[in-house]
Amino acid sequence: MEKLQLIKDPYNIVITGVGGQGNVLGSKILSNMLVRKGYHVTIGETFGASQRGGSVMSHVRVSGKSTWSPQIPKGKAHLIVALEPVEAIRVLMSYGNQEVKVLANTRPIYPVGVIAGELDYPSIEAIRATLAELSSTALFISATDEAIKLGNSILANIIMIGAASRMLEFPIDRQDFKEVIITTLPASKLDVNLKAFDMGAKMVRQ
């Protein structure tokens, strides 16, 4: 399969969230979609605590030329996909730059300290303002809310991947996703995952 030349090579994607949201699976699905297109893809380690509630971050580096080291250098992300809104700020502070694009889920997951009343959690308005100030593009989608309508909140990760597919600077599509899902998840989960991917893609209009 012919590879498309990347204007930004490597193209650096950070997928972040908290444990239990499925962002590690999401990063693997996205990476396999890109491999299917013929790109060289490296997935970085997951940073932070992977248990439910802990911060999780995956690096995905995409190249049309060669394989790169798995860790994205500070300040060199091109796209940040955040399944939890405050995690978007956390990653942006380390890997952001003036040209970075941010895709963030609107549904917060409150840390124990916030639930206990020991810490404050910023309002979604404050988060939006911060991300807009620190990025070239900041798009928020209600991935968790829509996933619940499909019957399972974990499908927010697939909705986010569908949305992210429209924000990349090179094409991947529904067929790429379908081929990867067929080999990744049980056949009984194909239809609902395709619906989730389509839902995410429709939320982003280029």
Note the pLDDT of residue 1: 47
The domain spans of the chain are 11-203
Note the pLDDT of residue 143: 98
The C-alpha atoms of residue 57 and residue 43 are separated, in whole angstroms, by 11
Low-confidence ranges of the chain (pLDDT < 50): 1, 50
CATH 3.40.920.10 is held by the domain 11-203:
yes
List Cβ neighbours of 30 (8 Å cut-off, separation of 6 or more). 13, 15, 60, 161, 164, 165
Note the pLDDT of residue 169: 85
Three-state helix/strand/coil letters over the chain = CCCCCCCCCCEEEEEEEEECCCHHHHHHHHHHHHHHCCCEEEECCCECCCCECCEEEEEEEEECCCCCCCCCCCCCCCEEEECCHHHHHHHHHHHCCCCCEEEEECCCCCCHHHHCCCCCCCCHHHHHHHHHHHCCEEEEECHHHHHHHCCCHHHHHHHHHHHHHCCCCCCCCHHHHHHHHHHHCCHHHHHHHHHHHHHHHHHCCC
Note the pLDDT of residue 53: 61
Note the pLDDT of residue 114: 85
Note the pLDDT of residue 111: 80
